[in-house]
Each structure stands twice: as structure tokens, then as C-alpha cells.
């Protein structure tokens, strides 16, 4: 098993938790939402260090993190916040998924 995938998955999890706190702060305000978002972002980036140390590679790890967290953030936006996705954005989502195929292709 690729050891860097676990810290990368934890990074993505905390990034999405932070995004939820940040979105709620943008809608409602409140010190605790902002503070919670910052703490979750700090935890997320701590696991980025572990992913790098365990061999994710800067380019490969960053692309996987960016695409996967963006895809999940889109789903959160659609289902939790009733945001809409346009046709060009759907094309971008498909290209993002295709990029993951090429990243893992060996």
C-alpha cells in the first residue's frame, strides 16, 4: 500500500471540514466558525507535511489533493448549500477526474 495516501486522505478530510466551517462563517458570521475553520486548515496542512515525508511528491500529491478536494467540495456545495454547477464546470469536473487517471497511470 502507498503509505502517503493515508495522510493525504486525512488532509483532504480536514480541508473539507475547514471548508464547511468557512462557508458557514461566510453565511452566518461568528468567531467560533472562523476559529474552527482556521484550526481545521492547520490540521489539514500538518497532514500535508506527513504526506510529503512519506513520498507523495510535491506535484503528484498537490494534484491529487486539489482535484479530490475540489470534487468533494462541489458535492458539498450542491447538496448542503444548494449551489449550482454550470456546463463548463461539469467539463472541468470531467477533466479533473481524467487527470486523476493519468496521475495514477503507471
When computed from its CA atoms, the radius of gyration of the chain, rounded to whole angstroms, is 15
Find out whether 85 and 93 touch, Cβ atoms under 8 Å: yes
CA angle 5, 7, 43 (to 5 degrees): 150
Q: In this predicted structure, what is the pLDDT of residue 1?
A: 57
In order, the DSSP letters of 29-68 are: --HHHHHHHHHHHHHHHHHHHHHHHTT--HHHHHHHHHHH
pTM above 0.95, yes or no: no
Q: In this predicted structure, what is the pLDDT of residue 16?
A: 96
Exposure of 21 in the CB half-sphere (CA atoms within 13 A): 18
Per-residue pLDDT of the chain (106 residues; tens, 9 = 90+): 589 999 999 999 999 999 999 999 999 999 999 999 999 999 999 999 999 999 999 988 999 999 999 999 999 999 999 999 999 999 999 999 999 899 888 7
Distance CA 76, CA 70 (A): 10
Q: In this predicted structure, what is the pLDDT of residue 2?
A: 84
Q: In this predicted structure, what is the pLDDT of residue 27?
A: 96
Amino acid at each position: 500500500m502507498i503509505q502517503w495516501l493515508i495522510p493525504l486522505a486525512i488532509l483532504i478530510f480536514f480541508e473539507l471540514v475547514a471548508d464547511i466551517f468557512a462557508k458557514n462563517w461566510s453565511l452566518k458570521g461568528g468567531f467560533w466558525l472562523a476559529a474552527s475553520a482556521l484550526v481545521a486548515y492547520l490540521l489539514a496542512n500538518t497532514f500535508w507535511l506527513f504526506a510529503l515525508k512519506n513520498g507523495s511528491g510535491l506535484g503528484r500529491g498537490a494534484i491529487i489533493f486539489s482535484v479530490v478536494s475540489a470534487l468533494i467540495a462541489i458535492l458539498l456545495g450542491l447538496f448542503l448549500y444548494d449551489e449550482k454547477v454550470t456546463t463548463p464546470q461539469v467539463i472541468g469536473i470531467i477533466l479533473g477526474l481524467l487527470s486523476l487517471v493519468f496521475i495514477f497511470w503507471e
